A and B are shown apart, each in its own frame.
Chain A
Amino acid sequence: MFDVAVIGGGVVGGLLLRQLSKYQLKVCLLEKQADVSMGASRANSGVVHAGFDAKEGTNKAKFNVRGNQMMPSLCEELGVKFKNNGSLVVAFSQDDLETLKDLKARGEKNGVPDLEIIDKEQLLELEPNINDTAMGALYAKTGGIVCPYELTISAIGNAMDNGATLYTDFEVVGAVRDEFFTVTAKDGRTIQAKIVVNCAGLYAGEVAKIFGDDTIKIGARKGEYILLDRESAGFVTRTLFFTPTKLGKGVLVLPTVDNNILLGPTAEELEEGNTETSKSGLDRIMSKANQMCKNIPYYNTITSFAGIRAYSYTHDFIIEESKIIKGLINCAGIESPGLTSAPAIAEYVVNGLIGGLLPLKPNNNFNPYRKPDYFFKNLSDEKKNELIRENPSYGKIICRCEQITEGEIIRACTENPRATTVDGVKRRTRAGMGRCQGGFCQPYVMEIIAKCNQMEYKSVTKSGKGSNILLGETK
């Protein structure tokens, strides 16, 4: 019997699980996919918003600013790369300049520190690759970037290290409430929990309905991106936004914490949970990005991808106990700035909502720290060599483009939450994320996955059931 079951292994569910593991509670995470961080947290801009966007008084405004404050120390604890790179909302017209003033005023009301409107000259000095047609910008020094899946995986891993349980391939199809909830997976497994938190992202509406709450209405948008190789590092160093219009924030040009350059997203209403890219979408990104910056090094493109954003029809975060089903807490419609808000949402749900339903006794054994996934890269050569002497697999480079060693991949396959798929290894170690996109290393990564998980080579998948890489033997 669990005290709390969290449904959905995205950034909100993951940080919630970790927050829960700070207390003497038996907690678990139910994830329908083979790995965590497979929905919206897999593919988004990775922006830690300053908090001037959301209208004052909304959940978005409240959690954004608090989340932004929490992010640096949280990332420090979890060993997650975070960069306080600052963001610029760039104006290209007189109207835009007017809007910047409104944004600044709103930001100040929301409690965002260090907002400044800068002129063209200052702007081009900060970011020389911005188009000369720019007229000025709102500079938010507290804006940052983080890797969304790294944060999610690390939070869940840290929670597991502190006693939480993860169930993957656990697609919730049934729920019965007596004294407590009995939750059933598609494959027949069941778990029992006193409280359930619904963090199912795109599927939050469906999950709530399974529990008997049909009030959550979720829509979905698709956002496409283009990613440029690290070779373009420094093309821009801050997160560049267009001045928002009624149509939304538009395409961004920004660095990632791994020194790639990211262009996107588009925003397209979506019927099904499909993350395909389209020619029109990618063309749109390029045309918008070209309005922002000159001479974008598209020849360094290494991939394009699309992510999904779930939004609620209220267009604000829904974070509350279900009005219909007691003990069910819904965290739904967590669209932008959801990533930034997630730590604050987790804090509020656990300490504010769950704390009202269950006694929260601190877990004195809670260890907030996690060894970074990239710890090896940060060691000095002497330390690296010490480690290689102990464990020679750290001296064998598997991914040439990102220079990831066998030791790091083994670690990803053996530490919480264990990688069991090629994409899982990729998200934990960056093996296969470089310019050759796994062309060289994938056959070797599969070997390590098979060995660590005691499975057959040919049954290793890209991202879980049905995504087999190989379809048989030759002989």
Chain B
Amino acid sequence: MEVKNLTCVECPMGCQIEVGLSNGVVEYVKGNTCPRGKLYAENEIKRPLRVLTSSVKCVGGKMLPVKTDKPIPKDMMMDLMSKINACHPSLPIKTGDVVIKNLYEDVNLIATKTIE
């Protein structure tokens, strides 16, 4: 049995989670306060996921903050940044509007600010 210690990043509590593994398969998760912590721990073992936040430069030069509408694999972050950097949407734009559809599989990049 292999034991891994993780810090949950789902919320500011930052629970210290212990994951028990046998042959790479999760046997148990402890230390989490909520179900999100369990899911987080399982994903960390499989393939860690993160919501990516960044900005894009709109036509005209204004910066628009954006985020992925679902978590993406952590190891894809840098690759996806180049896609994000190449995108220049036009204004106006509203919070929640899709800036890049299917940035990664079914994950979209969405605006997190309304700019007139």
Contacts and interface: CB of A to CB of B under 8 A. Distances in A.
Interface of A: 473-475
B58 to A, nearest CB: 10
A451 to B, nearest CB: 14
A71 B27 CA distance: 83
Contacts, number: 10
A410 to B, nearest CB: 22
Contacts of B56: 475
Nearest to B86: A475
Contacts of A475: 55-57, 85, 88
Contacts of A474: 55, 57, 63, 85
A474 B56 CA distance: 9
Contacts of B63: 474
10 contacts: A473-B57, A474-B55, A474-B57, A474-B63, A474-B85, A475-B55, A475-B56, A475-B57, A475-B85, A475-B88
Nearest to A457: B61
A445 to B, nearest CB: 19
Nearest to B88: A475
B95 to A, nearest CB: 20
A475 B57 CA distance: 7
A175 B60 CA distance: 50
B53 to A, nearest CB: 13
Nearest to A475: B57
Contacts of A473: 57
B107 to A, nearest CB: 20
Which 7 residue pairs are nearest across A and B when measured between Cβ atoms? Answer: A475-B57, A475-B85, A475-B56, A474-B55, A474-B57, A474-B85, A475-B55
Contacts of B57: 473-475
Nearest to B87: A475
A60 B16 CA distance: 70
A196 B37 CA distance: 77
B91 to A, nearest CB: 15
Interface in B53-97: 55-57, 63, 85, 88
A213 B55 CA distance: 60
Given A473-B57, A475-B55, 8 more contacts: A474-B55, A474-B57, A474-B63, A474-B85, A475-B56, A475-B57, A475-B85, A475-B88
B102 to A, nearest CB: 21
A425 to B, nearest CB: 23
A402 B59 CA distance: 36
Nearest to A473: B57
A474 B55 CA distance: 9
Contacts of B85: 474-475
A440 to B, nearest CB: 18
B64 to A, nearest CB: 10
A446 to B, nearest CB: 15
Interface string B13-46: 0000000000000000000000000000000000
A475 B88 CA distance: 9
A304 to B, nearest CB: 35
A8 B36 CA distance: 67
A241 to B, nearest CB: 53
A285 B78 CA distance: 48
A473 B56 CA distance: 12
A475 B56 CA distance: 7
A254 B97 CA distance: 58
A474 B66 CA distance: 14
Contacts of B88: 475
A475 B83 CA distance: 11
B66 to A, nearest CB: 11
B73 to A, nearest CB: 23
Nearest to B56: A475
A473 B57 CA distance: 10
A474 B85 CA distance: 8
Contacts of B55: 474-475
A475 B85 CA distance: 5
A473 B88 CA distance: 14
B20 to A, nearest CB: 42
A459 to B, nearest CB: 16
A231 to B, nearest CB: 34
A473 B63 CA distance: 11
Nearest to B55: A474
A474 B82 CA distance: 11
A328 B63 CA distance: 56
A474 B81 CA distance: 11
B83 to A, nearest CB: 12
A380 B85 CA distance: 50
A473 B55 CA distance: 12
A123 B56 CA distance: 64
